[in-house]
Structure 1
Amino acid sequence: MDLLNQILAEPLDPDYARVAARPGRAPRMRLALLLVAVGCGVLFATGSVQSTRSAPAVAVERQQLLDRIAEQQTQQDRLRADIATESEEVNRLRSEGLGQDTTAQQLQAALAVAEQEAAAVPVRGPGMVLEVDDAPGSTGPEDGRIIDVDLQMLVNGLWSSGAEAIAVNGYRLSPVTAIRGAGDAITVDYRSLTTPYRVEAVGDPGQLPSRFAESSGGQWWNYVRQNYDVAMSTSTAEELELPADTTLALRQARAQEG
């Protein structure tokens, strides 16, 4: 009864009032949050300033790298032209050395066929031209950027359709040519290509386009065009002139007996 009388005589309201009157944690919590926010702001501001200051340096380095690439490409083209000139001289001397008898003429004819199939000599004739480009605004293969597999399928489709010789952006393809991806770029025997990709194929212009459309490469590109908005144009040409593959090198030779 004493406890009951005490509860009735002394309600709990004064205790609640005393607790409410104590200094709470809210001000300290607000202060801590304020300090954290200020710290984050300082960090973000510092990072932004550093990024802004480093942006010009990055742009300069990128331009220097592009200039070096262009310079090396120019030098490579010059060396390629020198190789072509020397190859013509070698062919002339070889013809003189073989002579003009029947055996020599048969050997010359066999060499001419082998050289054309190996892309060791320039070739000229009618054919088909295809020009393909990335989808507008594409940043990756998922939204329309052409990748190495796409060009591989295109080229293989042309070979299977009867193409006698093929060049991509002026680079002749040989039986050992590799089309690969290197980062965002596509290379032909480690030579970088730029868009749009121009593919020239020497062959019968009356049959090559229809055969290509029915090939696995043509069907692949039909799907890519419809689903990824890549650009592709085709045309026939009365005469194409494709250069020799200057990356070819003699790896093995054997003297013929007799």
Structure 2
Amino acid sequence: MKKSLSAQLSVTVVSLILGLALAAQFKNVQRVGGSVSLQRTQELTRQVQKLEQENEALEARIQEYERRIKEFENAVQSEDQSNRLIYEELERTRMLAGLVDVQGPGVVVTVNVKHVNEWGQDAIVQNVRYDDLLKLVNELNAAGAEAIAINDERIIATTEIRNAGDYIVINTNRYSSPFEIKAIGNPDTLEAALKLLGGVADDLGVYLQINIKRVDNIRIPKYRGTFQYKFAKPVQDTNARS
């Protein structure tokens, strides 16, 4: 009887110790991994939303291409309609190349230096660097921005953003703080991408003033420079000849 009672008591004590150990480990995992799990959840949610939007955009693009193919087929019978479709396609190409003014909803991001008071004197934490602007532009592009401008300089494929002494050069023009970045696209997606916990704006906000504002209608001017191709030439489709 005593042996049975002793065995039951031993099992109870071991079970209690294991239960306390598991409970302590669970609390420790919650405490250590809570913030990481939240960040990971936000990142995965953003990726899922982006994939859903890309899928919807691709489906819409397929429908648009099918519609335009049908229009071109019908336009063969009408010279005036054919000319109209060619003009519309030209305008669309110009818009994609950044050669026309565009407008639409999006966000406006203001980037400026941050002032602090040290020893009774006003001081700047750090000047705005060219790579700060590049990080913001890249994040906006990744979030689906359709048009971007910095201080009304349209950002296109050939745009350079680089340091030049105390200035930052954009499209061969020099600028200094503050910088205003305009981006046209889905305001919810653009704002969420920039405000992601641990994201670009969060990191830059340590030493810069970053203000993100949603705007219903943003106007972005066209690229004012010129294109010069001295070495690049279109590839001739040899298969089309045969």
Q: The TM-score by the shorter chain falls in which range?
A: 0.5 to 0.7
Q: Secondary structure at the match of 1:124?
A: strand
Distance 1:117 1:212, change over 3 A: farther
1:134 and 2:113 correspond: yes
1:123 and 2:102 correspond: yes
Give the distance between the partners of 1:109 and 1:174, measured in 2 at CA. Answer: 21
Q: Secondary structure at the match of 2:176?
A: coil
* Stretch deviating more after TM superposition (159-168 or 245-254): 245-254
CA contact (8 A) 2:196 2:202 kept: no
Distance 1:158 1:100, change over 3 A: farther
Following superposition, which runs of at least 4 residues in structure 1 exceed 6 angstroms of deviation?
Answer: none
Letter in 1 for 2:211: S
Q: Deviations over 1:197-219 (max 9, x none)?
A: 0111111223221133349xx82
- Give how far 1:192 is off: 0.8
Give the distance between the partners of 2:79 and 2:126, measured in 1 at CA. Answer: 56
Letter in 2 for 1:169: N
Partner of 1:237: 215
**1:67-146 alignment, distance < 5 Å:** 101-136=80-115, 137-138=123-124, 143-146=125-128
Give the distance between the partners of 1:242 and 1:224, measured in 2 at CA. Answer: 24
Letter in 1 for 2:200: W
Q: Pick one of 148, 152, 157 that aligns with 1:170.
A: 152
Give the distance between the partners of 2:194 and 2:145, measured in 1 at CA. Answer: 9
Q: Secondary structure at the match of 2:205?
A: helix
CA contact (8 A) 1:150 1:221 kept: no
CA contact (8 A) 1:167 1:173 kept: yes
CA contact (8 A) 1:126 1:238 kept: yes
Letter in 1 for 2:220: L
Partner of 1:186: 168
Partner of 1:219: 199
Query: What is the RMSD of the two structures over their aligned residues, measured on CA atoms?
Result: 2.6
Give the distance between the partners of 1:250 and 1:151, measured in 2 at CA. Answer: 26
Structure number with the higher strand fraction is 2
Distance 1:131 1:112, change over 3 A: same
Give the distance between the partners of 2:181 and 2:199, measured in 1 at CA. Answer: 17
- Give how far 1:250 is off: 5.3
Q: Secondary structure at the match of 2:204?
A: helix
- Give how far 1:106 is off: 2.6
- Give how far 1:100 is off: 6.5
Give the distance between the partners of 1:238 and 1:146, measured in 2 at CA. Answer: 27
Partner of 2:73: none
- Give how far 1:191 is off: 0.5
1:247 and 2:229 correspond: no
Letter in 2 for 1:237: V
Give the distance between the partners of 2:175 and 2:185, measured in 1 at CA. Answer: 24
Distance 1:244 1:100, change over 3 A: farther
1:199 and 2:177 correspond: no
Partner of 1:28: none
Partner of 1:70: none
Structure 1 gaps, min length 5: 1-98
**1:54-69 alignment, distance < 5 Å:** none
- Give how far 1:172 is off: 1.1
Structure 2 gaps, min length 5: 1-77, 116-122, 235-242
Distance 1:100 1:131, change over 3 A: farther
- Give how far 1:156 is off: 1.0
